[in-house]
Structure 1
Amino acid sequence: MGLDDQQAECDPQREDPQSCGEGVAHARGDVWWDVIYAGQEPSRMRANMVRFAPCARTDWHSHTLGQTLHIVSGICLVQARGGAIIEARAGDTIYTPAGEEHWHGAALDRFMTHLAMGEGRGDGSPETV
């Protein structure tokens, strides 16, 4: 099955989202996360280990200071608004620039885990919008 076929079956804007893992907002399908690091001043670093069930993904979103995803296992699909779907595998690292709308999630037929890393502004504003 090609990436276009997976996109059709795992549409990030579908109207019938599955349940989300507890505490995960703005995701479709089953998603779980653990905080690995939440920096204390002066650090603004945040790192979360995020696990996606097959076909689960985030909603469209952006990050005020960008985001780095390091794929730990499985196949990650990433798409910037208006761009092609990118397939990343274990060991790959993807960077999304500040303010770039995108989604990311698991391929149709397998689980995926990534380490999500980013920074907050330090002023209490949300890092994800």
Structure 2
Amino acid sequence: MKRICYLCVVLFALCILPGAVPGVDAGQGKLIAVAADGPAADAAVSLKAARCAYFLIFDSQGELIETLANPHRRTRGGAGPQVAELLAQKGAGTFIAGEFGARMSDALQRKGIAMRIATGSALEVVQQAH
């Protein structure tokens, strides 16, 4: 019985109180995705969230870790929800773009991804987000 109680306390601490467990940060693992006009960190933030040319994925320290050509750029309809699904699968906690359409905004909210509107270079806006 004591073992079960101990296990419950440990699981509670790991799942509910991540800041209380050494080495576990509440925001750890959340990535920042940026809609960009080019594949490099210094590319301009795209005005088109769902139909941008590239997604730049930055870690929590502001380092570019992945560049993705947008597979939904030319999708006839429903690009917003498909992009939200892709970003959620990549582990994005925040998505930065020049503007967001209504369906894109709804899809991101359902996935728990925060939205930020910004202009400038991708790297600069990510650094400012810290």
Structure richer in helix, relative to its length: 2
Structure richer in strand, relative to its length: 1
TM-score (norm 2): 0.30
TM-score (norm 1): 0.30
Larger radius of gyration: 2
